Structure 1
Amino acid sequence: MIYDCAIIGGGPAGLNAALVLGRARRSVALIDSNRPRNAVTHESHGFITRDSVTPAEFRRIAYEEVRRYPTVDHLQTEVVSVDKTESGFEALDSTGLRIQARKLILATGVKEIFPEIEGFYPLYGKSLFNCPYCDGWELRDQPLVVVSESPSVFHTAKLLLNWSKDLIVCTNGKASLPDEKKEWLQSKGILVMEHSVAAFIGQNGRLKHVRFADGTQVPRTGGFVIPQFAQSAPFGECLGCERTELGGIWTDKLGRTSIPGLYSAGDASYFMPSQVVFAAASGSRTAMGVNMDLTEEDFK
């Protein structure tokens, strides 16, 4: 069987793309390895009608809705390679199954690369996070820390003042802030710490202190650690897709990549902002692009 479209990735982007294509009566293979990036997250926020939903519940509801459409097949497996073929694309999974489709959507998302700091992972998703819009409300008015090795920490610090005025900015030993920006932050009562962060100290998922390499220890109850992002799957690169300046897969407004018949949706294509609502919208828009192109081909 050759599907109209295969979708690699069962996050919000892939699920919404499958929903739209299923409703358009397209045959779809939704391929999902069931390893969501936000599995560590206790709640997802900022999506109307689904604010505070757990990632597991979001996926349960989404799959329940997608499975209503008989032309959508859910394949819980891991894709190991993708090739361009005369009829479209072929995805090979870890069991040797070959999945063929006329069109292919890469909704594989991104992976975060965090600074190597002792004690981070036991606190991540509980009192340390990476997105103020996702979790700033839950940490409002608390003594917070933001750790970033990027010059964008200045923007993040300004943003976090909406949630808490008790803020420490840490560059983790990187000279990422010019003097004028440090002075501006300090004028707003924000302490700038340029020593490397040695450890996050907490208990039962709750941050208590931040310890620096010089021995300084500062009490904090929560904060944000800003990661770098990278593609979580190599398929776009292997197929020769053009990239954006940030490393995302370049697409037009309807999710088309530089490779004919290949599309990308969600975090894999734009990297930031990394939110459920953006990813779902991207999946919907990309599915419309796929259906439009299939319609034109069939009409001709």
Structure 2
Amino acid sequence: MNETEYEVIIIGGSYSGLSAAMALGRSLRKTLVIDSGKPCNEQTPHSHNFLTQDGKTPKEISESAKKQVSEYETVHLQEGKAIDAKKSESGFEITTENGEKFHSKKLIIATGIVDEIPEIKGFKESWGIPLIHCPYCHGYEYKGKKTAIIANGDKAVHISSLVKNLTEDVTLITRGKANFTDEQREKLNRNKIHIIETEVSELKNYSGMAESIVFSDGTEIKFEAVYGAFPFHQHSEIPKKLGCEFTEFGHIKTDQFQKTNVPGVFVCGDNSSMMRSVSSAVMTGNVAGAMVNMELVTDCF
């Protein structure tokens, strides 16, 4: 093999991609990890609910992971952005933004997703800090606080049920007409969850802490914690270009071993799971790495 040929290429070098790389490195597989350095949680100050790493910054965890993975001599980490992938006679041809081409027998896509944050003052700069997405990742730190949830429909009811376990003071902000069934409304009412249908015009925060929400009618309400549930899209177009199937929610469809419908293509992390946490990303990456190694073994043994 030359320096452009690998047994496995991993697109995406955050938690799931690095986890897959470690599994492959420990199996002596010549592996290339291509990473653009744009993790979706780069603004998040602390990561939680990951045993042995609880409370560390996302950067601390990823830097430690990179250091450990780089010690495996068959794994190469490369900065860059993969922009295209094609099936080839031997497997796959990957093209990066600067025109480099690499080849591999198997492909793991760990590119994550991009949250579509509304163009509302204070939202983008607050995302992942005072405007949070996951009760499991950050809810404990805001237990007992006056809490707002910016969401509508089924997602709003789901998050409300989780947050209600952490605090009694919950307000649901639907940013327009509430979209709930009669049964859902009854549940929300029974749990004393107040609903505000007015559009939001600004989220104010001070030193990384939620301060208040300003509504389009000029009303301003103080909150100590704010959750947001927003749409997302895939960070990379490569899965679509290769013909990967997607779920109704927009995740890449896999079997229990992180394998897609495209032979030789595996995916892991946020791009294929509703469980958005570092621990889940690491787990799915480990599974993908092990299963790719198993395919390589089966191909030649």
TM-score by length of 2: 0.95
**Superposed, which structure 2 residues align to 1:144-293 within 5 Å?**
144-270=147-273, 272-293=274-295
2:136 matched to 1:133?
A: yes
Mapped partners of 2:88, 2:283: distance in 1: 29
SS at match of 2:126: coil
What is the CA distance between 1:179 and its match in structure 2?
4.1
CA contact (8 A) 1:186 1:192 kept: no
What is the CA distance between 1:256 and its match in structure 2?
1.6
SS at match of 1:37: coil
Q: How many residues align?
A: 298
Mapped partners of 2:291, 2:129: distance in 1: 38
Which residue pairs with 2:116 in the alignment?
113
SS at match of 1:80: strand
Per-residue Cα deviation, 1:146-198 (whole angstroms, up to 9, x for no partner) = 00133220121111012111110011104322344234323322211111112
**Aligned residue type for 2:238:** F
Which residue pairs with 1:4 in the alignment?
7
Mapped partners of 2:19, 2:221: distance in 1: 43
Mapped partners of 1:26, 1:188: distance in 2: 53
Mapped partners of 1:45, 1:70: distance in 2: 31
Q: 1:103 to 1:174 in 2, by over 3 A?
A: farther
Which residue pairs with 1:24 in the alignment?
27
Instruction: Give 5+ residue unaligned stretches, structure 2.
Output: none
What is the CA distance between 1:90 and its match in structure 2?
0.9
Per-residue Cα deviation, 1:273-300 (whole angstroms, up to 9, x for no partner) = 111111111011111110111001111x
Which residue pairs with 2:58 in the alignment?
55
Cα root mean square deviation, aligned: 1.4
Mapped partners of 1:97, 1:234: distance in 2: 18
Mapped partners of 2:204, 2:292: distance in 1: 49
Mapped partners of 1:257, 1:283: distance in 2: 14
2:300 matched to 1:298?
A: yes
Mapped partners of 1:246, 1:60: distance in 2: 31
CA contact (8 A) 1:110 1:231 kept: yes
Identity of aligned residues (%): 35
